[in-house]
Structure 1
């Protein structure tokens, strides 16, 4: 049986960096579930449609091929906004749910475990995960991290605009009817506002090792 680590939290909390590092540490498969929604949102935009159009978003979700996702294209601010719009749609989430659950139960490459990060992994996708972490940080710190990423990729967006986007996205993710972002009752909280990635990684490993023992 696959050992599953579910990591949830808002954008730029550090959950993706932590999840990738944990997957490497334990030799587990890794899935960034947010990239699936980014890919769907970007596909809708590429087709010239509105990401708020549920019919177009559902068609893109059903046609999604994880092996053809353009990582660079889905990491833009626009792709992130599109992802937030399509992710509130129950039919889109349902279309992607089975893929996520199968990945967790049957990790590719024969690995003995899987690390999935997103916003509803511990509550909806893998409610029976062996370990659940909820990674967060203050909106200001997360916005600053995201702004640095965007600045590094050549974006001219202001930090104030990124902070506004961050707060709007938090509200959408936490307030949506379908699988809202929230900490699972049995999830361990990791606040990275004043925590280095090294410290966060160390704490996560302590929690996971304890569960494995």
Structure 2
């Protein structure tokens, strides 16, 4: 596959936001590969925290206890040829953070202000040197409001559920109908939360991926980047 390279002086930051199942992580990872950039999956970081505290019986409502243990949480995102490994305090939890149980709770943990503040600070630090593709729900609005390229990806709830079903069907017993309901619930929680709700940044480009394949979406975003930097395939 052809690759796109850039020099240290023309690197930019790319923010990709959108609801659950919109394909953000897959697209962001491919864009990062094409540009030889660093990919940061912020959703995996919140999932990692959800799994970590859930394993210890600490609910998001027990904020005092959660924040007491927060300094002990160490999350590592390790690039792999087919994605990334998520290591939590030395334990590989790549599969565990994608479980139904984590799916059901991650939005609640993401509303804990102290946890969110720590992860946002870490994410901003990762982007200081530019050359980062970061995806999540509040990247363009909160984490990297000055990102040179901002994309808000979306798709129909049915299409998003279908994509997530294909990801999860070998891990958990779940039906499409359950996933559609879960997606709708997650959308509502993300949009209505008080801290960094899911919304499109004013200067972000809305990209509906319902009828687009992976490479088509990647090419659209790469084309957007060309308006900021000169790149060579």
Normalised to the residue count of structure 1, the TM-score between the two structures is 0.91
C-alpha separation between the residues in 1 aligned to 2:194 and 2:155?
Answer: 23
SS of 2:164's partner is: helix
Of Structure 1 and Structure 2, the greater strand share is in 2
**Equivalent residue for 2:186?**
169
CA RMSD of aligned residues (A): 1.6
Alpha-carbon distance in 2 for matches of 1:119, 1:60: 25
Aligned pairs for 1:77-92 (under 5 A) are 77-92=100-115
Checking the alignment, whether the CA contact within 8 Å between 1:40 and 1:57 is kept in structure 2 is: no
The alpha-carbon deviation at position 60 of structure 1 amounts to: 5.0
| Contact 1:40-1:60 at 8 Å conserved across structures | no
Query: How far did residue 61 of structure 1 move?
Result: 4.1
Counterpart of 2:96 (choices 68, 73, 77) is 73
What is the correspondence of 1:26-175 to structure 2 with a 5 Å cutoff? 26-67=35-76, 68-69=87-88, 70-106=93-129, 113-153=131-171, 155-175=172-192
SS in 2 for 1:212: coil
> Structure 1 131/60 Cα, relative in aligned 2: closer, same or farther at 3 Å?
farther
CA offset digits 1:7-60 (Å, max 9, x no partner): 101111011111000111111111100111101110111112224432344345
Ranges in structure 1 where 5+ consecutive residues have no aligned partner: 107-111
Normalised TM-score (structure 2): 0.84
Distance 1:56 1:19, change over 3 A: farther
Quote how far apart the aligned CAs of 1:101 are: 0.3
How many residues align? The count is 207
User: Structure 1 or 2: larger helix share?
Assistant: 1
- Which sits farther off after the overlay, 90-99 or 30-39? 90-99
The answer on whether the counterparts of 1:43 and 1:60 sit within 8 Å (CA) in structure 2 is no
Secondary structure at 1:129 match in 2: coil
User: What secondary structure does 1:164 align onto?
Assistant: helix
The equivalent of 2:84 in structure 1 is none
In the alignment, structure 1 residue 183 sits paired with structure 2 residue 200: yes
Tell me the CA shift for residue 152 of structure 1: 2.5
